[in-house]
Amino acid sequence: MQNIVVVGGCGFIGANFIHLVLRERPDIAILNLDALTYAGNLANLEDVSSNPRLRFCRVDIGDRAALEKALENETFSAVVNFAAETHVDRSILGPDAFVRTNILGTSHLLDIVRKRQGIRLLQVSTDEVYGSLGDDGAFTEQTPIQPSSPYSASKASADLLVQAYHHTFGLDAVITRCSNNYGPYQFPEKLIPLMIINARSGKPLPVYGSGGNVRDWIHVEDHCRGVLVALERGRSGEVYNFGGAAERRNIDIVHAIADRLCGNRDLVRFVQDRPGHDWRYAMDFQKAATQLDWAPRYAFDAGLQATMDWYIANEAWWQAVLNQEYRDYYERLYGKR
Ligand code: NAD
Ligand code: DAU
């Protein structure tokens, strides 16, 4: 049995990754470390909670002593780091938690891992570190880092630390950078789940600016498969881009959700734009295709339908996260728009 540590496994992508590994890699056992922030949810792993190949420890990677203690008696061959503060709008409201978790927390992980032998660290990063594109072109792994938001700046900082640990200490590290994910268990602050639950609840659908901004959407399972093969076959010190080959304007996604869930577009509202809003992201993932034999499997329209079906079938899951913290955040962000 191979033991791996998944950090941030109670969030959207981390939980989907754990489901995938438990399903498809019977020889891997997982220790899941997560601080259970507002975005971390044990319900995301409820159906696998009794699996003997999965253990959980609540720990904050910003707390170095607690992290050391959680790992001191553990033997493992890899760490996959999903843990982060992840929402751009929250980073604009207040960057401190982003600096602490995304930079300091990653630095703690790196320092603990490098003092042991034979451990691979996979850092889950984002296309947002490359900044914004105009109407043409796509990010490659050679595109210079040029982050726009406090969130993406903190993720870029973490990437630089990972590369520095590889260069300076020979740490076996791989970085993956992915475009916008969608799918089950995504916290309803991000575009697609927010629009789905607002449409289901008869609430306004707030579209920033003109709605013309473009994202490249990837189903979370495709991203998780990419992380897994990069962990297993990625070359040490390398960066791998993943994308969904599904560029869409925000307004077209919101219309698709409104058409399906409301039958009309009456709830769509154009609201004040996000400060510093990146215009467009697009990923060139030829390197992952060539070196890792990876390609996205989901077609966007089918994946979006399946995601809407999941939220309809799992209303209890999302109703449970619409707590006071969520309502306060919602009022703070959207109240003034
Ligand atoms: P998420 O916000 O849904 O989950 C983050 C998880 O990290 C939560 O379980 C949370 O409790 C945990 N966490 C936060 N701070 C922590 C701390 N100090 N110590 C331990 N755990 C902590 O995020 P997500 O969307 O699943 O993203 C996972 C990773 O993938 C992030 O690193 C993000 O930058 C990256 N990423 C996300 C996307 C996307 O579209 N969502 C795309 C590319 C890359
Ligand atoms: O590209 C990868 C990144 O994708 C990840 O690194 C981030 O963790 C993740 O949050 C996501 O960032 P975005 O800012 O692109 O995602 P978000 O869902 O917040 O917004 C997607 C687009 O929709 C963006 O152009 C802003 C717009 N938007 C978003 C919200 C929440 C709206 O128009 N209205 C909204 O209410």
CB atoms within 10 A of CB 117: 6
The residue to mutate among 190, 255, 283, having the most atoms of ligand 2 within 8 angstroms of its beta carbon, is 190
**Is 128 annotated in the active site?**
yes
pLDDT tens per residue, range 222-270: 999 999 999 999 999 999 999 999 999 999 999 999 999 999 999 999 9
Q: How far does residue 68's CA lie from ligand 2's centre (Å)?
A: 33
Whether 175 is covered by a domain: the verdict is yes
Q: What is the atom index within ligand 2 of the atom nearest the CA of 281? A: 1
Residue 248: its H or E element:
strand 247-249
- For atom 19 of ligand 1, which residue has the closest CA? 60
CB 154 within 8 A of CB 91: yes
Confidence of residue 336 (pLDDT cuts 50, 70, 90): confident
How many distinct structural domains can be found in the chain? 1
Q: DSSP readout, 142-156?
A: TSPP---SHHHHHHH
Whether 200 is covered by a domain: the verdict is no
Whether 55 is covered by a domain: the verdict is yes
Ligand 2 close to Cβ of residue 128 (< 6 A): yes
Confidence of residue 301 (pLDDT cuts 50, 70, 90): very high
**Predicted local confidence at residue 133, as pLDDT:** 98
Task: Give 120's strand partners.
Answer: 78, 172
**Is 127 annotated in the active site?**
yes
Q: Rounded distance, CA 167 to CA 173, Å?
A: 10
Q: How far does residue 181's CA lie from ligand 2's centre (Å)?
A: 10
Whether 202 is covered by a domain: the verdict is no
CB atoms within 10 A of CB 83: 29
Q: What is the atom index within ligand 1 of the atom nearest the CA of 81? A: 32
- When the pLDDT of each residue in the chain is averaged and rounded to a whole number, the result is 98
Long-range contacts of 259-268 (CB under 8 A, 24+ apart): 260/305, 260/308, 261/196, 261/199, 261/200, 261/308, 262/199, 262/202, 267/198, 267/199, 267/202, 267/203, 267/204, 267/205, 268/204, 268/205, 268/207
Whether 174 is covered by a domain: the verdict is yes
Whether 335 is covered by a domain: the verdict is no
With 90 as the cut, is the pLDDT of residue 118 above it? yes
Domain that holds residue 136: 2-180+220-242
Q: What is the atom index within ligand 2 of the atom nearest the CA of 278? A: 25
* CB half-sphere exposure, 190, CA atoms < 13 A: 20
Whether 281 is covered by a domain: the verdict is no
pLDDT tens per residue, range 140-190: 999 999 999 999 999 999 999 999 999 999 999 999 999 999 999 999 999
Ligand 2 close to Cβ of residue 86 (< 6 A): yes
Whether 317 is covered by a domain: the verdict is no
Q: How far is CA 97 from CA 100, 125, 184, in A?
A: 5, 17, 25
**Predicted local confidence at residue 337, as pLDDT:** 86
- Gap between the terminal Cα atoms of the chain: 52
Q: Which of 95, 90, 107 is CA-nearest to residue 39? A: 90
Catalytic residue among 34, 60, 85, 127: 127
Q: How far does residue 263's CA lie from ligand 1's centre (Å)?
A: 33
* CATH code for the domain of 18: 3.40.50.720
